[in-house]
C-alpha cells in the first residue's frame, strides 16, 4: 500500500526534528483616533499592548454645550468597564481622557469603542479601533 506524499513528508520532518513554524507574535501598536461633531472634537491614541491591555489617552473639546468622551474595550463577548472623560464645556478647557482597559482573555483587548455624548447623554459620534485602524460608525 502506498502512503500519500504528505504523510511521508510529515513523518520525515518529525524524524529529523522539524516542527511547525511558531505563531506570529503580537507586538505593541499605537493607533490614533479622532472624531468631530460640528466643531466639538475628540482625539488621542490607543496603545494596544502585547498583553491583555489597551491604554487610551486623549482629550475632548466642546465648541458648544457640554461634551464628554467615553471608551470601552471588547474581546468577543467580554467587555471592560466604561471610562469617561470629565465634561468639557463651551469656552472652557479641553478635558483629558486617560484609561487602562484590560481583558484577561486570549488576545486581550481586541477592539476599543469610543463615543462622544452631549449634556443630555445623546450620542453624537462613535467609532471603534483595532490594531489595524479605526472605523467611524456615525
pLDDT for residue 35 is more than 60? yes
DSSP annotation string for 57-120: EEEEE-SSSEEEEEEEEEETTEEPPPEEPPPEETTS--EEEEEEEE--STT---EEEEEEEETT
Query: By the 8 A CB rule, do 40 and 125 touch?
Result: no
Burial class (CB in 10 A: 0-12, 13-18, 19+), 23: exposed
Residue 83 resides in a domain: yes
Domain containing 61 — which CATH number? 2.60.40
Residue 100 resides in a domain: yes
Short-list 16, 61, 22, CA closest to 42? 61
Query: By the 8 A CB rule, do 97 and 55 touch?
Result: no
pLDDT digits (tens, 9 = 90+) for 88-124: 999 999 999 999 999 999 999 999 999 999 999 999 9
Residue 26 pLDDT grade (very low, low, confident, very high; cuts 50, 70, 90):
low
Looking at residue 25, its pLDDT comes to: 58
In whole angstroms, what is the distance from residue 26 CA to residue 24 CA?
Answer: 7
In whole angstroms, what is the distance from residue 86 CA to residue 97 CA?
Answer: 8
Residue 10 resides in a domain: no
pLDDT for residue 82 is more than 80? yes
Residue 64 resides in a domain: yes
Q: How many domains does the chain have?
A: 1
Residue 138 pLDDT grade (very low, low, confident, very high; cuts 50, 70, 90):
confident
Residue 16 resides in a domain: no
Residue 40 resides in a domain: yes
Angle at 125 between CA 123 and CA 131, to 5 degrees: 125
pLDDT for residue 12 is more than 50? no
Does the reported pTM lie above 0.95? no
Residue 46 resides in a domain: yes
Instruction: Write out the residue range of the structural domain in which residue 29 sits.
Output: 25-136
Residue 41 resides in a domain: yes
CA atoms within 13 A on the CB side of 61: 12
Amino acid at each position: 500500500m502506498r502512503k500519500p506524499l504528505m504523510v511521508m513528508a510529515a513523518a520525515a520532518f518529525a524524524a529529523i526534528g522539524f516542527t511547525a513554524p511558531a505563531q506570529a507574535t503580537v507586538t505593541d501598536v499605537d493607533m490614533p483616533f479622532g472624531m468631530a461633531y460640528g466643531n466639538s472634537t475628540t482625539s488621542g491614541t490607543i496603545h494596544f499592548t502585547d498583553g491583555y491591555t489597551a491604554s487610551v489617552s486623549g482629550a475632548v473639546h466642546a465648541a458648544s454645550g457640554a461634551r464628554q468622551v467615553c471608551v470601552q474595550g471588547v474581546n468577543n463577548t467580554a467587555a471592560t468597564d466604561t471610562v469617561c472623560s470629565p465634561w468639557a464645556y463651551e469656552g472652557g478647557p479641553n478635558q483629558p481622557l486617560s484609561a487602562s482597559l484590560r481583558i484577561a482573555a486570549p488576545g486581550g483587548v481586541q477592539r476599543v469603542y469610543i463615543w462622544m455624548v452631549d449634556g443630555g447623554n445623546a450620542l453624537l459620534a462613535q467609532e471603534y479601533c483595532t490594531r489595524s485602524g479605526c472605523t467611524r460608525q456615525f
